Every structure is written in C-alpha cells, then in structure tokens.
Amino acid sequence: MKEDTVRIEASPTPAFKILKSGVEVSTICNGESVTLNNESNVVSLPCQNPTFSWSISPNTGVVYINGTNNTSQNPQLTFNTPGNYNITIKNGSDGNTLKDICEREIPQNEFIPVTVHPVSLTLMDSLTTPACAPDSLELVFSKKIRCSSIAPDGSDFIVNGTYAATVSAAAGNCNDGLTDRVVIRLASPMQSGGNFNVRLVRSAIDGNTLILHTLPRSVASWIRYNTCTTERMK
C-alpha cells in the first residue's frame, strides 16, 4: 500500500516585531535604532523567494542603517524625529505583498504603529549642604548618569557667583559605571560667604555634557540652577 504525504499550508499572515536590543517595543526615543523583525509565515516556506517592501509613514525623520533598506527582510532603522509612525507591509517589486505556496497573498496595508518620544532633559535633584569653607560640592541627579561621560578635569561644570570659584576636577560615586552623584573639586576653598550657581556646560575634553545610562544619545542638562551659600569664616 502506497502512502503519500500532503502538506497543507497555512494562510499567509503578516507578522513582524519592532525590536530594540532584541526586545519588542512600541515606543522609543528619538535617535534610537530598531530592527523590523519579519516573522511572516511565508518566510520559512520552501521555494517562495519572497520580496519585501516596507513603508513608513511619515517617511521623514527616519533612515535605514547598516546597509539595509525598504526591501530588506529585516531592515534596521534610526528614528531622528519625535512623532507617531505607522510601519506598513506593501506590494514588493513583483507586484504583490508576500505569497504562500498556494499563491495567497498577505493582505496589503497591515501596519504596526510606533511612537517616538523626544529625549527629555534630566534635572539635578539637589546640591548637598556645603561644609564650612568647602573645597568641593556634591551634586545629586534625579537619574543615574554614565561615569564615562564625566570629564575628570571638571570642565563639565562652571561655578558662578559672588566671587570667582574655579572647578579643578569632577568624579562620580560609581557603581557598575553609573552614578547619581557628582563631586566637583574646587581649585581653592570658598573662604568667604556668597551665593553661587552651578552650571552644566559641554566639555571641550569629551565633547558632551553628562549622558544618561538609559538613553545612549541623551544629554543631561540643567534647566534650573541650584544655589549654595557659604558661611563667612568667624
């Protein structure tokens, strides 16, 4: 008795995920990159040779990277502009979307939305109370920052106020390369009383201010100043 095996193919269905560092996401921050991971069931079928065509709307503010493009199976993208985007499957260069072995197409215009948020600024949470005639100031941040982004010569910071105070060094209280506190050293103790502002600037040494650990392209910056008052020596 002769037996034959008949393979019944599933209907084609669109399926892809937006992956950031291997994790599925639906929201990212501008400047971050993602991979469109195509999991459509026709990808694994034999003798299909499918073509791919991705459509992103709006099509401005996003670029393909690492040699991929809108006809790649798993393109990689960087979103440079905040906003709401739709990533859509569409007809490829062969005039159809994707077909299974039974010549059935994946429906056109299936899409996944993605939201790109603007990078938010990080505030300094507080300034610890200075000691009498301090030769250093400790800054506390609301989020952890990368220790590697702190310029050792203190050029990320400027102290302005009643009289000149020169910053000579800076370092974090680092754990696994991260810190939520930065101690800035002064060239000389602040012997006289006064009011001072600590301001974050872009260092000429490393070319950045301070970088958050969660968003590789984000830069922490002041949008308010904290004031410290030194007591006059008796």
**For residue range 46-86, what is the model confidence (pLDDT) as tens digits?**
555 666 778 888 888 899 999 999 888 889 999 888 888 88
Instruction: Please say if the pLDDT value at position 22 is more than 70.
Output: yes
How sure is the predictor about 232, in pLDDT bands with cuts at 50, 70 and 90? Answer: very low
The pLDDT > 90 percentage for the chain reads: 14
Domain 124-230 has CATH 3.40.50.2300: no
d(CA 171, CA 93): 56
Distance of CA 128 to the CA centre of its chain: 29
Q: Where are the domains of the chain?
A: 16-117, 124-230
The number of beta carbons lying within 10 Å of the beta carbon of residue 121 is 12
Sheet holding 167-172, edge to edge: 124-127, 136-146, 178-186, 167-172
> What is the pLDDT at residue 108?
55
Q: Classify domain 16-117 by CATH architecture.
A: Sandwich (2.60)
Mean pLDDT of 196-214: 63
* Residues contacting 23, CB < 8 A, separation 6+: none
d(CA 79, CA 82): 8
The per-residue pLDDT of the chain, averaged, comes to 73
- Tokens matching residue 79: 């979103």
How sure is the predictor about 170, in pLDDT bands with cuts at 50, 70 and 90? Answer: very high
The number of beta carbons lying within 10 Å of the beta carbon of residue 32 is 21
Side-chain half-sphere of 99: how many Cα atoms within 13 Å?
A: 13
For 86-119, what is each residue's pLDDT tens digit?
887 654 444 444 544 445 555 555 667 777 777 6
Same fold, 16-117 and 124-230: yes
Nearest Cα neighbor of 75 from 18, 32, 124, 120 is 18
d(CA 138, CA 119): 26
For 220-230, what is each residue's pLDDT tens digit?
444 333 344 44
> What is the pLDDT at residue 121?
57
Instruction: Please say if the pLDDT value at position 200 is more than 50.
Output: yes
Sheet holding 76-79, edge to edge: 23-24, 16-20, 33-38, 76-79, 62-65
> Tokens 């393109």, residue?
75
How sure is the predictor about 147, in pLDDT bands with cuts at 50, 70 and 90? Answer: confident
Mean pLDDT of 1-24: 68
* Residues contacting 132, CB < 8 A, separation 6+: 230, 231, 233
Phi, psi dihedral angles at 117 (to 5 degrees): -90, 150
